[in-house]
């Protein structure tokens, strides 16, 4: 009996530790609107989504509860993967528990969708977010993408039902339930849609094949302020506007940055100042308009961020964490500045080493001076730093800068959604070695990182010791 009580106590502790661990993974996407104080003031509830939605839902939703436990166990495994073997003795136990709990969560989610209501619709959306995180932790990026698309398809069905209801069209019982859910929980659905959209944007930049989820603009509330002279009220507000910049440039570039640099298909400077009727790329007038829209959003963002950062530096109440987050925003802003300079330069002009060097030095300074010492590897849903370093390693053309970027990726111990610093560092290192092979073609490097991963594996040119989950995204 004593042994049984001990086992039960250990099991409960595992579950409690798992839930605590999971809350750091989901519901607090760094670019989600929920934490912003800038819009919908009459409905705004301050605080991360994990506190406002996910924890309460976990009390009466079996799918959310078991999903959180599964995610927490997977997160513990992720942490153990970076530690010495003698410190990771419990990793296998967490892995078994993660699999069991995930299976239960999936079963309850399937049951919930058969009992349609405003509650089960919202718990299913939250479960999708949890499942996305879980599959990323497990290295099954293809399955994470499936959950992302499933959640987005629910959002589309909700928006269509609401639109039909507003138009006075006849609705089925199923559609009425969807429309009533939108009517009663619109603000909450907007916050969830923000997270799906942010995740979709980050995934699109990784896959470089255009949009990966449908348009969720029905639940889009817009930027809080378009006045370039007004500083941001928080880095969360700045992050959200940066997300709008990311989306706008993604739309203009079809999310294919790697395919646009340095042999860019559009030399923007050749017609930026020409009348529309004189554009040498008449078929790309729409794309030019998209580019100019993105540039305007970027300029407003840059101005507001600069003023906000100055205010932080001059305030005696500014915390170390606030300064670090502002510096992170500045690195991300500089990354887009580099891309813009590369794309707006004449196609024959070589890329300036200084662009990449400045960005790399800022990133090095940021990562090696984390606001809090990194006792454990970091997992976030938002892809912030890692895509910037892969840009340097892939396009700077300078071996020393490329190697420094790879070293920084190894050192940062971060997993930003499907952007894993260790995996991408290993992949980029293998690319540098593959260049010495007679069967390698530099044109291979113009395809997406997942396809490069698949190609390196198929050609047996991958030099890393670990697996490449990125390759799961290749059809």
Q: Identify whether 308 is part of a domain.
A: yes
Determine which of 63-72, 121-130, 237-246, 277-286 has the lowest per-residue pLDDT on average.
277-286
Closest CA relative to residue 380, chosen from 421, 320, 409:
421
**pLDDT interval class at 26 (50, 70, 90):** low
Instruction: Point out the least confidently predicted range of 127-141, 258-272, 285-299, 326-340.
Output: 258-272
Check whether residue 247 and residue 206 sit in a common domain.
no
Judge whether 82 lies within some domain. yes
Answer yes or no: is pLDDT of 284 > 60. yes
Rounded to an integer, the average pLDDT of 385-409 is 83
Residue 208 CA to residue 221 CA, distance in Å, equals 26
Q: Is residue 410 domain-shared with residue 261, that is, in the same domain?
A: yes
Query: What's the rounded mean pLDDT across residues 227-250?
Result: 88
φ, ψ of residue 42 in degrees (nearest 5)? -70, -20
- Residue 463 domain-assigned? no
Lowest mean pLDDT among 100-104, 183-187, 375-379: 375-379
Provide the pLDDT for residue 350.
Answer: 66
Q: How many domains does the chain have?
A: 2
Identify which has the larger pLDDT, 226 or 245.
Answer: 245
Same domain as 328, residue 210: no
Residue 85 has pLDDT above 80, yes or no: no
pLDDT band, very low/low/confident/very high, at 212 (cuts 50, 70, 90): very high
Q: Is residue 435 part of a domain?
A: no
**In the block, residue with structure tokens 């879980």:** 134
More confident residue, 303 or 391: 303
Please check whether residue 228 lies inside any domain of the structure. no
Which tokens go with 259? 């395919």
Query: Do both 196 and 290 map to the same domain?
Result: no
- Is there a contact between 200 and 212 (Cβ–Cβ < 8 Å)? yes
Q: How confident is the model at residue 269 (pLDDT cuts 50, 70, 90)?
A: very low
Lowest-confidence range among 192-201, 369-378, 388-397? 369-378
Angle between helices 118-138 and 62-80 (to 10 degrees): 10
Q: What is the pLDDT of residue 282?
A: 39
Instruction: Identify whether residues 33 and 180 lie together within a single domain.
Output: yes
Name the one residue in this structure whose structure tokens are 């409905």: 43
Same-domain check for residues 390 and 293: yes
pLDDT at 48: 53
Using a 10 angstrom Cβ sphere, with 0-12 exposed, 13-18 middle and 19 or more buried, the burial of residue 39 is middle
DSSP three-state, residue 31: coil
Parallel, antiparallel, or unpaired: how do β-strands 378-380 and 419-420 relate? Answer: unpaired
Per-residue pLDDT at 468 exceeds 50: yes
Residue with tokens 């330069």: 345
Q: Looking at residues 186-209, what average pLDDT do you find?
A: 91
Q: Are residues 169 and 306 in the same domain?
A: no
Other CB atoms within 10 Å distance of the CB of residue 26? 26
| DSSP, res 274 | S
Q: What is the pLDDT of residue 2?
A: 45
Mark whether 295 and 406 lie in a shared domain.
yes
Final residue belonging to a domain, choices 424, 443, 459: 424
pLDDT of residue 348: 59
Tell me whether residue 321 is in a domain.
yes
Contacts for 219 with CB less than 8 Å, ≥ 6 apart = 155, 159, 186, 189, 190, 192, 193, 194
Q: Are residues 316 and 259 in the same domain?
A: yes
Q: Report residue 222's pLDDT band, with 50, 70 and 90 as the boundaries.
A: low
Classify residue 350: in a domain, yes or no.
yes
Question: Could you give the 3-state DSSP secondary structure of residue 349?
Answer: coil
The crossing angle, in degrees rounded to 10, of helices 91-114 and 62-80 is: 150
- Asked if 357 and 403 sit in the same domain, the reply is yes
Return the pLDDT at 287: 79
Q: Which of residues 383, 407, 424 is at a domain's end?
A: 424
- Note whether residue 91 is domain-resident: yes
Q: Please check whether residues 175 and 289 belong to one and the same domain.
A: no
Quote the pLDDT of residue 274.
31
> Are 154 and 64 part of one and the same domain?
yes
Q: What is the pTM of this model?
A: 0.84
Please give the average per-residue pLDDT across 180-209, as a whole number. Answer: 92
Structural domain including 384 reads 235-424
What is the rounded average pLDDT for all residues in the chain? 80
């Amino acid at each position: 009996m004593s042994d049984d009580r001990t086992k039960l106590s250990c099991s409960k502790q595992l579950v409690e530790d798992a839930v605590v661990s999971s809350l750091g993974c989901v519901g607090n996407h760094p670019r989600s609107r929920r934490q912003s104080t800038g819009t919908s003031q009459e409905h705004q509830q301050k605080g991360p989504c994990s506190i406002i939605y996910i924890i309460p839902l976990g009390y009466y939703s079996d799918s959310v509860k078991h999903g959180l436990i599964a995610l927490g166990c997977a997160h513990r495994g992720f942490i153990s993967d970076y530690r010495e073997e003698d410190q990771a003795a419990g990793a296998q136990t967490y892995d078994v528990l993660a699999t069991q709990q995930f299976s239960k969560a999936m079963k309850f989610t399937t049951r919930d969708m058969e009992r349609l209501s405003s509650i089960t619709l919202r718990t299913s959306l939250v479960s999708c977010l949890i499942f996305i995180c879980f599959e990323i932790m497990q290295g099954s990026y293809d399955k994470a993408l499936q959950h992302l698309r499933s959640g987005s398809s629910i959002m589309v069905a909700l928006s269509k039902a609401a639109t039909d209801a507003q138009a006075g069209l006849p609705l089925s019982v199923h559609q009425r339930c969807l429309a009533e859910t939108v009517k009663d929980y619109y603000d909450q659905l907007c916050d969830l849609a923000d997270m799906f959209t942010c995740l979709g944007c980050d995934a699109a930049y990784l896959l470089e094949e255009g949009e990966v989820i449908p348009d969720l603009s029905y639940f889009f509330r817009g930027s809080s302020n378009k006045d370039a002279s007004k500083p941001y009220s928080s880095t969360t507000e700045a992050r959200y506007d940066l997300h709008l910049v990311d989306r706008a440039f993604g739309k203009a570039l079809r999310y294919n940055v790697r395919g646009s640099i340095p042999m860019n298909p559009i030399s923007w400077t050749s017609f930026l100042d020409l009348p529309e009727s004189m554009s040498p790329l008449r078929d790309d007038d729409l794309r030019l308009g998209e580019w100019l829209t993105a540039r305007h959003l970027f300029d407003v963002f840059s101005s507001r961020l600069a003023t906000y950062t100055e205010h932080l530096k001059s305030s005696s109440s500014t915390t170390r964490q606030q300064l670090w987050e502002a510096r992170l925003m500045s690195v991300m802003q500089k990354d887009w500045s580099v891309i813009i300079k590369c794309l707006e330069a004449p196609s024959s002009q070589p890329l300036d080493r200084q662009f990449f060097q400045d960005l790399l030095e800022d990133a090095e300074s940021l990562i090696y001076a984390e606001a809090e010492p990194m006792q454990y590897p970091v997992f976030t849903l938002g892809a912030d730093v890692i895509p910037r370093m892969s840009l340097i390693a892939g396009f700077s053309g300078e071996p020393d800068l490329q190697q420094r970027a790879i070293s920084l990726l190894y050192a940062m111990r971060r997993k930003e959604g499907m952007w894993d610093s260790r995996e991408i560092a290993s992949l980029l290192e293998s690319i540098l070695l593959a260049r010495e092979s007679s069967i390698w073609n530099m044109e291979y490097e113009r395809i997406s990182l997942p396809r490069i991963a698949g190609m390196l594996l198929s050609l047996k040119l991958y030099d890393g010791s670990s697996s490449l989950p990125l390759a799961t995204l290749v059809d």
